[in-house]
Amino acid sequence: MIDPLLAASRLASAGLEAQSLRMRVVSENLANAQSTGTEPGSDPYSRKTVTFKAELDRAVGAASVKVRDIDTDKTPFRVEHDPSNPAADQNGNVKLPNVNALIEMADMREANRSYEANLQVIKQARAMVASVIDLLRT
Protein backbone atom coordinates (compact mmCIF):
# COMPACT_ATOMS: atom_id res chain seq x y z
CA MET A 1 0.00 0.00 0.00
CA ILE A 2 1.21 3.48 -0.84
CA ASP A 3 1.69 6.15 1.80
CA PRO A 4 -1.40 8.41 1.96
CA LEU A 5 0.71 11.56 1.90
CA LEU A 6 2.56 10.34 -1.18
CA ALA A 7 -0.76 9.44 -2.78
CA ALA A 8 -2.12 12.92 -2.12
CA SER A 9 0.98 14.47 -3.66
CA ARG A 10 0.78 12.20 -6.68
CA LEU A 11 -2.90 12.95 -7.32
CA ALA A 12 -2.36 16.68 -6.85
CA SER A 13 0.57 16.51 -9.26
CA ALA A 14 -1.71 15.02 -11.92
CA GLY A 15 -4.11 17.90 -11.29
CA LEU A 16 -1.27 20.41 -11.70
CA GLU A 17 -0.32 18.92 -15.06
CA ALA A 18 -3.92 18.93 -16.31
CA GLN A 19 -4.60 22.52 -15.25
CA SER A 20 -1.26 23.70 -16.62
CA LEU A 21 -2.17 22.30 -20.03
CA ARG A 22 -5.59 23.90 -19.77
CA MET A 23 -4.02 27.30 -19.05
CA ARG A 24 -1.71 26.92 -22.07
CA VAL A 25 -4.68 26.14 -24.34
CA VAL A 26 -6.67 29.10 -22.99
CA SER A 27 -3.63 31.35 -23.52
CA GLU A 28 -3.36 30.15 -27.11
CA ASN A 29 -7.05 30.87 -27.65
CA LEU A 30 -6.68 34.40 -26.28
CA ALA A 31 -3.56 35.03 -28.36
CA ASN A 32 -5.42 34.05 -31.52
CA ALA A 33 -8.74 35.74 -30.75
CA GLN A 34 -8.32 38.07 -33.75
CA SER A 35 -6.43 35.72 -36.11
CA THR A 36 -8.23 35.64 -39.43
CA GLY A 37 -7.52 33.36 -42.37
CA THR A 38 -4.61 34.09 -44.68
CA GLU A 39 -6.57 33.89 -47.94
CA PRO A 40 -9.84 35.54 -48.94
CA GLY A 41 -12.75 33.53 -47.54
CA SER A 42 -10.50 31.11 -45.61
CA ASP A 43 -11.30 29.90 -42.11
CA PRO A 44 -9.73 31.69 -39.13
CA TYR A 45 -8.27 30.18 -35.97
CA SER A 46 -10.60 27.66 -34.29
CA ARG A 47 -10.95 27.76 -30.53
CA LYS A 48 -9.42 24.76 -28.78
CA THR A 49 -11.00 22.97 -25.85
CA VAL A 50 -9.57 20.55 -23.30
CA THR A 51 -11.53 17.62 -21.92
CA PHE A 52 -10.49 15.63 -18.90
CA LYS A 53 -11.16 12.08 -17.78
CA ALA A 54 -10.88 10.25 -14.50
CA GLU A 55 -8.39 7.43 -14.73
CA LEU A 56 -7.47 4.90 -12.08
CA ASP A 57 -3.93 5.33 -10.82
CA ARG A 58 -3.13 1.76 -9.85
CA ALA A 59 -0.09 2.73 -7.78
CA VAL A 60 -2.22 4.98 -5.60
CA GLY A 61 -5.47 3.06 -5.85
CA ALA A 62 -7.52 6.16 -6.56
CA ALA A 63 -8.97 8.03 -9.51
CA SER A 64 -6.66 10.63 -11.01
CA VAL A 65 -7.28 13.27 -13.65
CA LYS A 66 -5.88 12.91 -17.15
CA VAL A 67 -6.33 14.94 -20.30
CA ARG A 68 -8.68 13.05 -22.60
CA ASP A 69 -8.45 15.26 -25.64
CA ILE A 70 -7.61 18.66 -27.03
CA ASP A 71 -10.23 19.35 -29.66
CA THR A 72 -11.49 22.28 -31.69
CA ASP A 73 -14.73 24.02 -30.84
CA LYS A 74 -17.44 23.42 -33.44
CA THR A 75 -19.17 26.75 -32.75
CA PRO A 76 -19.63 28.74 -35.99
CA PHE A 77 -17.21 31.55 -36.73
CA ARG A 78 -18.27 35.16 -36.27
CA VAL A 79 -18.68 37.08 -39.52
CA GLU A 80 -18.06 40.81 -39.90
CA HIS A 81 -18.24 43.05 -42.90
CA ASP A 82 -14.74 44.46 -43.53
CA PRO A 83 -13.92 44.73 -47.24
CA SER A 84 -10.46 46.19 -46.52
CA ASN A 85 -9.33 43.04 -44.68
CA PRO A 86 -7.08 40.74 -46.79
CA ALA A 87 -9.12 37.74 -45.58
CA ALA A 88 -12.43 39.21 -46.82
CA ASP A 89 -14.45 37.14 -49.29
CA GLN A 90 -16.00 38.53 -52.50
CA ASN A 91 -18.85 40.07 -50.45
CA GLY A 92 -16.45 41.84 -48.08
CA ASN A 93 -17.20 39.52 -45.15
CA VAL A 94 -14.44 38.27 -42.89
CA LYS A 95 -14.67 35.16 -40.73
CA LEU A 96 -13.39 35.79 -37.22
CA PRO A 97 -12.38 33.15 -34.66
CA ASN A 98 -15.04 31.58 -32.44
CA VAL A 99 -13.12 32.79 -29.37
CA ASN A 100 -14.97 34.76 -26.71
CA ALA A 101 -12.43 36.55 -24.52
CA LEU A 102 -14.85 36.68 -21.57
CA ILE A 103 -15.31 32.90 -21.61
CA GLU A 104 -11.57 32.36 -22.00
CA MET A 105 -10.81 34.61 -19.04
CA ALA A 106 -13.34 32.73 -16.91
CA ASP A 107 -11.74 29.43 -17.96
CA MET A 108 -8.30 30.83 -17.16
CA ARG A 109 -9.45 31.94 -13.72
CA GLU A 110 -11.01 28.54 -12.98
CA ALA A 111 -7.90 26.71 -14.18
CA ASN A 112 -5.68 28.99 -12.11
CA ARG A 113 -7.74 28.39 -8.97
CA SER A 114 -7.69 24.63 -9.53
CA TYR A 115 -3.93 24.79 -10.07
CA GLU A 116 -3.46 26.73 -6.82
CA ALA A 117 -5.66 24.27 -4.91
CA ASN A 118 -3.59 21.32 -6.12
CA LEU A 119 -0.41 23.20 -5.25
CA GLN A 120 -1.72 23.74 -1.71
CA VAL A 121 -2.39 19.99 -1.38
CA ILE A 122 1.24 19.28 -2.26
CA LYS A 123 2.49 21.93 0.17
CA GLN A 124 0.34 20.54 2.98
CA ALA A 125 1.45 16.98 2.28
CA ARG A 126 5.09 18.08 2.40
CA ALA A 127 4.48 19.92 5.68
CA MET A 128 2.87 16.79 7.17
CA VAL A 129 5.81 14.64 6.06
CA ALA A 130 8.20 17.14 7.67
CA SER A 131 6.14 16.98 10.89
CA VAL A 132 6.28 13.19 10.91
CA ILE A 133 10.06 13.29 10.44
CA ASP A 134 10.37 15.77 13.31
CA LEU A 135 8.26 13.50 15.54
CA LEU A 136 10.41 10.50 14.66
CA ARG A 137 13.57 12.37 15.62
CA THR A 138 12.40 12.92 19.19
| Number of structural domains found in the chain | 1
Backbone angles phi, psi at 32, to 5 degrees: -105, 20
Element (H, E) at 53: strand 48-57
Query: Residues of the chain with pLDDT > 70: what percent?
Result: 99
Q: What is the pLDDT of residue 104?
A: 97
Q: Is 91 helix (H, G, I), strand (E, B) or coil?
A: coil
What pLDDT digit, counting tens, does each position of 49-101 carry? Answer: 999 999 988 877 888 999 999 999 999 999 999 998 889 999 999 999 999 99
Read off the DSSP letter of residue 47: P
Residues of the domain holding 48: 4-137
